[in-house]
Amino acid sequence: MSPELEEIRRAVERLTRDWSESDWHRALDGKWSSGQILEHLLLSFKGTTNGVRNVMEVGRPLGGKPTLRDRVRTLYVAKLGRMPSGNMSPEAVLPKEGLDLETLRRFYDALVALDSTLADAERRFGSSAKLLDHPMLGPLSTKDWRRFHRTHAAHHLKQIAKAHRQGVSRPTDRQLSH
């Protein structure tokens, strides 16, 4: 597994290792529960995997030409490891039920599928080809996609850690914000 995606796997494993049933429902006020955050990440992995598989079927990269704004945003997220605040998640990656100990395997499976698909695309098109456009960052290469997912996961795992430090637990609510 790539170092960026392996970092996500290890962090989630450490974070969830000793969780009780109520830990999956911990959340910051007005935010997704821990289980919903993990489902959101899973859905984002699957979205990228499906997009890259489409690129492979078409037989050529589908990313556009990056604008200056795209380059700056990609630099901020993929290279500096920072997530801009205030962005709303696309409908396709909004969590529903959330994950729990019994469904966490789906998270790891999606991460492995993402890694494998990106590696296949990199072998076929090279590491600098702009495979696919991200909705907020624009065209990304395989390296950029890996770094985006690492930064995105780190952002959300910090939210989970903060909710667990504060000891806040509540029932799941689909209408909460990102």
- Please name each of the domains of the chain with its CATH number: 3-16+23-85+107-166 (1.20.120)
Per-position DSSP letters for 56-100, written without gaps between them: HHHTS----PPPHHHHHHHIIIIIT----SSPPPPGGG--SS---
Of residues 84 and 47, more confidence is placed in 47
Of residues 167 and 45, more confidence is placed in 45
Q: Residue 170 has what pLDDT?
A: 54
Rounded average pLDDT over 82-104:
91
Decide if 178 contacts 85 (C-beta within 8 A): no
Rounded average pLDDT over 65-79:
96
This prediction has a pTM of 0.91
Half-sphere exposure of 2 (CA within 13 A, CB side): 22
Which has the closest alpha carbon to 100: 35, 27, 36?
Answer: 35
What confidence tens digit (pLDDT) does each residue in 130-175 have?
A: 999 999 999 999 999 999 999 999 999 999 999 988 865 655 444 4
Q: DSSP character for 139?
A: E
